């Protein structure tokens, strides 16, 4: 399928499950296709390969929670703490329901130990996406609240390819690690600029270009998970 990246570039993407399964069927021998329900927090003891679901990723440090990205088709959820000892805890909450391949973490660990090539590719993904997480966190820290909210909405829109998004003020505040009142004010600012329309439990995007400009969506890190998978896929297809 074709995915539109925030910088405006269109790239051919392949899901991580499809990419690894084509040559590493043993990786999925203990896995199963599962349905992910919105609002559910994924089990940290499993590794998930999203197919059409979107998962919000938040990092927790010293009781503070902040959003570091969205995972969808082409990403791997849960691989970081498995392969990178000491990696901070990541909360993975289903944002948009859909399907994923779920594989027990210990099965992925055994498969990677038995296959050095697989281990190298999984580790490479973990390193590149970690760079994206850190870059996103640094950028989020430098943005004003309305810019953070705009950026998150833009990321969500690109992940689901829809202009009508299901999200409440409370959920958005929890994902960004800010007060609900701050999110409400930020959404009012974006509405005043005729960028979005906020309704009960839903956001409608009215001006995508202004939304991207407000959220500094040109500032996409080369290490962002989307780009990490794109590079991995391109290398595999070369």
Tens digit of each residue's pLDDT (9 = 90 or more) over 81-113:
899 888 888 899 999 999 999 999 999 999 999
- Average pLDDT score over the chain: 80
pLDDT band at 216 (very low <50, low <70, confident <90, very high): confident
* Mean pLDDT computed over 69-85: 90
Q: What is the pLDDT of residue 230?
A: 39
- Produce one character per residue of 17-45: b if its CB has 16 or more CB atoms within 10 Å, e if not: bebbbeebeebbeebeeeebeeeeebeee
* Mean pLDDT computed over 13-33: 65
pLDDT band at 31 (very low <50, low <70, confident <90, very high): confident
Task: Supply φ then ψ for residue 101, to 5 degrees.
Answer: -95, 125
Rounded Cα distance, 28 and 58, in Å: 26
Residue closest to 6 by CA, chosen among 147, 228, 209? 209
pLDDT band at 18 (very low <50, low <70, confident <90, very high): low
Q: Judge whether residue 66 has pLDDT over 60.
A: yes
Q: What is the DSSP letter of 40?
A: P
Superfamily assignment of 2-117 in CATH?
A: Jelly Rolls (2.60.120.10)
Q: What is the DSSP letter of 24?
A: -
Q: List, in sequence order, every beta strand (DSSP E) within the chain.
A: 2-4, 10-12, 32-36, 46-50, 54-61, 64-71, 90-96, 98-104, 164-166, 196-199, 202-205
CA distances from 156 to 97, 160, 203 (A): 13, 6, 11
Rounded Cα distance, 211 and 215, in Å: 6
CATH for the stretch 145-214:
1.10.10.10
Q: Where are the domains of the chain?
A: 2-117, 145-214
Say which range, 30-34, 179-183, 219-223, 232-236, has the weakest mean pLDDT: 232-236
């Amino acid at each position: 399928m074709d995915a539109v990246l925030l910088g405006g570039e269109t790239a051919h993407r392949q899901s991580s499950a499809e990419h690894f399964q084509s040559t590493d069927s043993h990786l999925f021998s203990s896995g199963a296709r599962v349905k992910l329900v919105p609002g559910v927090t994924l089990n940290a003891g499993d590794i998930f390969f999203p197919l059409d679901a979107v998962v919000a990723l938040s990092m927790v440090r010293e009781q503070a929670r902040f959003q570091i990205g969205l995972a969808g088709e082409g990403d791997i959820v849960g691989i970081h703490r498995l392969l990178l000892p000491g990696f901070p805890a990541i909360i993975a909450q289903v944002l948009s329901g859909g399907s994923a391949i779920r594989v027990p973490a210990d099965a992925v660990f055994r498969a990677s130990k038995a296959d050095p090539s697989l281990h190298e590719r999984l580790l490479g993904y973990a390193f590149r996406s970690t760079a994206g997480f850190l870059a996103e966190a640094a950028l989020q820290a430098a943005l004003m609240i309305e810019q953070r909210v705009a950026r998150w909405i833009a990321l969500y829109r690109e992940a689901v390819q829809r202009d009508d998004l299901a999200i409440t003020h409370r959920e958005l505040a929890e994902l960004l690690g800010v007060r609900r009142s701050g999110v409400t004010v930020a959404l009012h600012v974006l509405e005043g600029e005729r960028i979005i329309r906020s309704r009960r439990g839903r956001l409608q995007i009215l001006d995508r270009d202004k939304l991207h400009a407000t959220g500094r969506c040109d500032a996409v890190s080369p290490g962002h998970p989307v780009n990490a998978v794109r590079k991995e896929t391109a290398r595999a297809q070369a």
